[in-house]
């Protein structure tokens, strides 16, 4: 089945609901704009309300253009919008897609919300869309994010040197590439992740 950018996919379990990002989410999500730690490794604009507005509009535009599919993440346990994530770089002929641009308000870090979201997204990618591969990536210094990806079954696949602009005095930084295959999802990753929910 193909990813249809015009379709409103809602992914949901007992803890999380992923809704197609819309203008209606702006106010709730802008709550987190001043939490600087969220944006340390974020490639999008992230310097205050004006940059967040531009980032938000870019995400909506990318869906309209059929380039990315952004979701707003709702935490059902805390009854609040917690962050965003998106699918992008969809290649129908190759049966691959990437997942990224994920962020959550700090109070959700370590809460288990991310695992619920990733379960929903991997289930969507491999069981609904029936794709063969999901790719992810992170700034090499973002150990928290890399460990979170490995904990849901992603395997480290390589490094792209000097992929990111400098965020510290140390200069440009590498990107770590990770991925999950459909065969891995069905053989081990799905059950392993389900047990962590």
Please check whether residue 76 is in contact with residue 14, taking contact to mean a CB–CB distance below 8 angstroms. yes
- Predicted local distance difference test score (pLDDT) of residue 43: 60
**For residue range 179-189, what is the model confidence (pLDDT) as tens digits?**
999 999 999 99
Listed residue (55, 63, 26) closest to 39, CA to CA:
55
Return the SS3 of 102: strand
Q: The domain 11-196: what is its CATH number?
A: 3.40.630.30
Q: Are strands 68-75 and 11-12 parallel, antiparallel or unpaired?
A: unpaired
24, 80, 179, 91: CA torsion to nearest 10 = -20
- Predicted local distance difference test score (pLDDT) of residue 51: 84
- Structure confidence at residue 44 as a pLDDT band (50, 70, 90): low
Q: What is the mean pLDDT of residues 144-167?
A: 89
**For residue range 54-112, what is the model confidence (pLDDT) as tens digits?**
889 999 999 999 999 999 999 999 999 999 999 999 999 999 999 999 999 999 999 99
Q: Is pLDDT above 80 for 39?
A: no
Share of the chain above pLDDT 70, in %: 95
The contacts of residue 38 (CB under 8 Å, 6+ apart) are 32, 46, 103, 104, 105, 106
Which DSSP state fits 32?
A: G
């Amino acid at each position: 089945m193909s990813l249809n950018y015009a379709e409103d996919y809602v992914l949901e379990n007992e803890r999380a609901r992923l809704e197609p990002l819309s203008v209606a989410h702006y106010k709730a999500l802008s709550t987190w704009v001043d939490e600087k730690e969220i944006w340390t490794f974020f490639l999008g604009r992230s310097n205050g309300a004006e940059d967040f507005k531009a980032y938000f509009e870019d995400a909506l535009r990318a869906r309209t253009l059929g380039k990315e599919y952004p979701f707003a993440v709702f935490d059902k346990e805390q009854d609040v919008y917690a962050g965003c994530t998106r699918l992008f770089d969809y290649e129908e002929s190759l049966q691959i897609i990437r997942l990224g641009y994920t962020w959550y308000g700090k109070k959700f870090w370590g809460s288990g919300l991310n695992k619920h979201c990733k379960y929903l997204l991997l289930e969507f990618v491999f069981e609904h869309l029936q794709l063969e591969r999901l790719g992810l990536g992170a700034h090499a210094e973002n150990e928290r994010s890399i460990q979170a990806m490995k904990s849901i079954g992603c395997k480290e696949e390589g490094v792209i040197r000097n992929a990111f602009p400098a965020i510290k005095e140390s200069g440009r930084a590498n990107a770590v590439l990770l991925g999950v295959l459909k065969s891995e999802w069905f053989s081990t990753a799905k059950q392993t992740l389900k047990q962590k929910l």
